[in-house]
Structure 1
Amino acid sequence: MSHDDLRRAGFKDRTRVADARERLLAAVTPHDRTGRLPLVDADGRALAETVAAARDVPGYDRAAMDGYAVRAEDTFGASGRSPAVLRLAAADDDGDGESDEAAVNPGEAARVHTGSELPDGADAVVMVEHTEQFGDEVEVFDALAEGENVGDADEDVRDGQSLYDPGHRLRPSDLGLLKSVGVREVEAYERPRVAVIPTGEELVQRDPEPGEVVETNGLTVSKLVERWGGDASYRDVVTDDEDALREAVESNLDHDVVVTTGGSSVGERDLTYEVVDDLGEVFVHGVALKPGHPVALGDVDGTAVVMLPGYPVACVINAVQFLRPALKRAGHLPSEPFPTREATLTRKIPSEPGVRTFARVRTEPGEDGEGLEATPTRASGSGILSSVALADGWVVVPEEREGIEEGATVAVENWEWSA
């Protein structure tokens, strides 16, 4: 269908969300740029190598309880009525002027604390509550087996143990573990690079005059890109002019993904999808979601182009549904689902069959103090930015449902979660 025909017809045929996302991801090529990073700089980065432990952790046998380190065979037959009586082991003195940990010889015990290294000669720890000390002797009221109350040298991690595979996104706890096993730097993928191009002749970055609109979509999308693990290049506003739009797209094809905001519908000033189709291919134009069906997806010279609607709510919803998975694929990052919370719906959410609906909701504790209640801020409407910014999440109504009734239990998706 020609561009003029599309303008006259509107969006009669809209691609389902899952199908549109699948086509987009097929057009995204994961980049191969990597580099070695110290752990302090590696948080949130995707590994480009398998990482294994360089040593055992903790690296020594240790006491798992406060008590006394003993030889298990010296406690055989010990009981409350017939305790084993052991001598306190003397601290070693190797002539360096410092008192070292006591070695445990037959018939001896040494005081230990949880996590401390097991002395030489000992193979078990008796809990302090099962003992009684008299001067330099200890009565033991419990018979122990070898290894009882002892943590092995490789109890936490084993030398050479594989810890993480390529594509794993490093978290702070991962960095702590890697440091503990002797890893100081890792080979990681660079963050995917995303060019964010806001379009529209009415947009300004300053206080607006009558007829002007403050540019917000580019800022919002850029910060979402960074939150999702990418590097955003937030470009200047491009006016509704084919030559200017063409130059803006072509000059940013060195990025992994190009995303535009505005100009994706079928109006006289909606030129972005025409420009991208002339430069390459637009393979999706119009998606069965609400609000925000006028999204377009394409490819120019091997670079995926995501054309987001200009209305702020539609822009955000489509960025989450399409830009986020494209960015994740480009950067070898896992595309994990957003966390959800169950809540009881306080008002009905209407929706159109065959269309995936995103209803923004506020949540608050229920009247009885238990559970959550979700109140829709707005189920439709693409231009009300506050309906997203002042919401606590959204409820997704799938295509096969015709609304959700008041009182239903729903999953509230926290789409602004940082990963």
Structure 2
Amino acid sequence: MEGADRERTEAGFKVRTPVDEARRILEEAVTGVTEHDETVPCGTETIDVDRADGRTLAAPVTSARDVPHYRRAAMDGYALRAADTFGASNRSPEVVQIVDAPDGAGEDHAVADHIEPGTAARVHTGSALPDGADAVVMIERVTELESVGELEVEDAVAEGENVAPIGEDIEAGQSLYDAGHRLRPSDLGLLRSAGYGRVEVVEQPTVGVVPTGEELVAGDPGPGEVIETNGLTVSRLAQRWGARATYRDIVTDDHESLRVAIQRDLTKDVIVTTGGSSVGQRDLLPEVIDDLGDVLVHGVGLKPGHPVCLGIVQDTPVLALPGYPVACIVNAVQFLRPTLRWLEGTTPDPHPITRATLERKIPSEPGTRTFARVRLEERDGGNGDTDADEPPYAAIPTRASGSGVLSSVALADGWVVVDDDREGIPAGETVSVELWEHNA
């Protein structure tokens, strides 16, 4: 072992940067500012609304028109003047003339454009109200006298009753969304209604995902070989988080090969490597990153996954994630996910959480943020005996240790975060379970 290798492997991680501090350092490097501002490092593009699901708005959006843009019937019935129904009841109905009565019972017919006092026109839910009408009486509250073309109205209605006015849903010029809003399917419908066929969004960040390790194989493994999973998982997580990820072939633990792999992807917005990030003889990535650019953080106070290396090369963030699968996933969530949001000019949304009672103790070291994988079991509350304040679930740790055991996270429902200042969480305590895989 040469001098540099010996120094690296013997040093270990004497100092581990707290998670929040590591994120602050990384954010400053990604955005070029010390506080969040409105810059969008990724740039913007204008796309069709029907392709904008999951995309982030680059500019505020206001409605281009009233919705609805006409007075419409809110019920099936008859449009008429409210004054013509004054005093109407089932014992003493008011009689009006039907305009454009159907030729045959049960057939559809067009709505009249205009009604005079003492007349009514058949309307359906969503129909435009004829000029002269100011209310709709429900079909259940009238009797049609088809033989004479008259309508007995059995219920008095007020002006505007059962009528959706212009702009009831949205008014022209109304603010709909701020810049940075991530569009959902329901938003797309609202944008279409508000007059938008295209919308300006932030360009999707691009990510190069490079799995490393001479022991990795893509196919069936032989003795001493391991199937590559980290690159696959991280690339798909990046896509779920709104990025366009390129999943690269495996790169062996060779200084020059790693250098070439990183230089190749400097056209991406982010480079993520998996494996080779610790301090062992074959953990070359921190040196390669340092040779090409700057190592910002090496070694973070989190478990599993403290041997993460965060760097910057030619203004491109390089995240060297640990090779153990669980450690790799934890670090991807803690550092890659926020990096993608910063590149979009936004901040990451918190994960959805659920309350649960911890079934077994979770150990943790002070100064280390622990992500304990748990599965959830619904408590038996079917008999109504469960206290309303009692959490609806029990949280059962899937494994207290073993960052290489992929099933401990893949078969879990979420994780419990033990803060840096706590020395574990005792059984029976109510905890918040982060459902980290349930959103973007």
- TM-score over 0.5 for the alignment? yes
Matched, 1:109 2:109: no
Query: Counterpart of 1:362?
Result: 375
Q: Could you tell me the TM-score, scaled by structure 2's length? A: 0.87
Counterpart Cα distance in 2 of 1:323 and 1:77:
69
Task: Quickly say closer, same or farther: Cα 1:32–1:386, change in 2 above 3 A.
Answer: closer
Contact 2:100 2:109 in 1 (8 A): no
Does the residue aligned with 1:378 lie in a helix, a strand or coil? Answer: coil
Letter in 2 for 1:170: L
Which residue identity lines up with residue 18 of structure 2 in the other structure? R
Take 1:87 and 1:99, find their aligned partners in 2: how far apart are those partners?
16
Matching residue's letter, 1:88:
I
Matches within 5 A, 1:74-89: 74-79=84-89, 82-89=92-99
TM normalised by structure 1 equals: 0.91
- SS of 2:394's equivalent? strand
Aligned match of 2:71 in 25, 40, 61? 61
User: Alpha-carbon deviations, 1:62-87, whole Å to 9, x = none?
Assistant: 12223322212223344566543322
Alignment pair present for 1:337 and 2:350: yes
For 1:278, give the aligned amino acid: D
Q: Does 1:348 find its partner at 2:367?
A: no
Structure 2 residue 272 is the aligned partner of structure 1 residue 259: yes
Equivalent AA in structure 2 for residue 13 of structure 1:
V
Residue equivalent to 1:50: 60
SS of the residue aligned with 2:169?
coil
Counterparts of 1:15-30 in structure 2 under 5 Å? 15-29=17-31, 30=40
**Letter of the 1:284 counterpart:** V
Q: What CA distance in whole angstroms lies between the structure 1 residues aligned with 2:132 and 2:6?
A: 88
Of 298, 301, 304, the residue aligned with 1:285 is: 298
Q: Which of residues 399, 412, 416 in structure 2 aligns to 1:378?
A: 399
Q: How big is each residue's C-alpha offset from its partner over 1:102-135, in whole Å with a ceiling of 9 and x where there is no partner?
A: 2321112223333222122101122344444445
Structure 1 residues 99, 238: closer, same or farther in 2, change over 3 A?
closer
Secondary structure in 1 matching 2:208? strand
Q: Report the CA distance between 1:150 and its aligned residue.
A: 0.9
- Pairing partner for 1:297 from 297, 310, 325: 310
Q: Specify the SS of the correspondent of 1:304.
A: strand
Counterpart amino acid of residue 133 in structure 2: A
Q: Secondary structure, in 3 states, of the residue corresponding to 1:8?
A: helix
Partner amino acid, structure 2, of 1:61: R
Cα gap change, 1:67/1:334 in structure 2, threshold over 3 Å: closer, same or farther? Answer: farther
Alignment of 1:166-177 (within 5 A): 166-177=179-190
State the distance in 2 between where 1:228 and 1:333 align: 13
| Aligned residue number for residue 31 of structure 1 | 41
Q: Distance in 2 between matches of 1:3 and 1:397?
A: 34
- Quickly say closer, same or farther: Cα 1:363–1:350, change in 2 above 3 A: same
Q: 1:237 to 1:90 in 2, by over 3 A?
A: closer
| 1:343-399 residue CA offsets vs partner (Å, 9 max, x unmatched) | 222212111222111111112222455732221111222111111111111111112
User: Which residue is equivalent to 1:413?
Assistant: 434
Q: Percent identity?
A: 62
What CA distance in whole angstroms lies between the structure 2 residues aligned with 1:294 and 1:338?
24
Partner of 1:14: 16
Number of the residue aligned with 2:133: 122
Unaligned runs of 5+ in 1: 93-97
Q: Tell which deviates more after alignment, 114-123 or 44-53.
A: 44-53
1:313 and 2:326 correspond? yes
**C-alpha distance in 1, partners of 2:347/2:65?**
28
In the alignment, is residue 404 of structure 1 matched against residue 425 of structure 2? Answer: yes
Separation of aligned partners in 2, 1:108 and 1:295: 78
Relative to structure 1, is the Cα distance of residues 22 and 394 closer, same or farther in structure 2, using a 3 angstrom cutoff?
same
Q: How does 1:90-169 map to 2 (within 5 A)?
A: 90=100, 100-102=110-112, 103-135=114-146, 136-169=149-182
Q: Distance in 1 between matches of 2:373 and 2:222?
A: 30
Structure 2 CA distance for partners of 1:151 and 1:176, relative to 1, 3 Å? same
Which of 161-170 and 371-380 deviates more?
161-170
- Secondary structure at 1:27 match in 2: helix
Q: Report the equivalent of 2:105.
A: none
For residues 42 and 10 of structure 2, the distance between their equivalents in structure 1, rounded to whole angstroms, comes to 43
Question: d(CA) in 1 for partners of 2:195 and 2:14?
Answer: 60
Separation (CA, whole Å) in 1 of partners of 2:16 and 2:101: 80
TM-superposed deviation, 1:215: 1.4
**Conserved 8 A contact 1:49-1:187:** yes
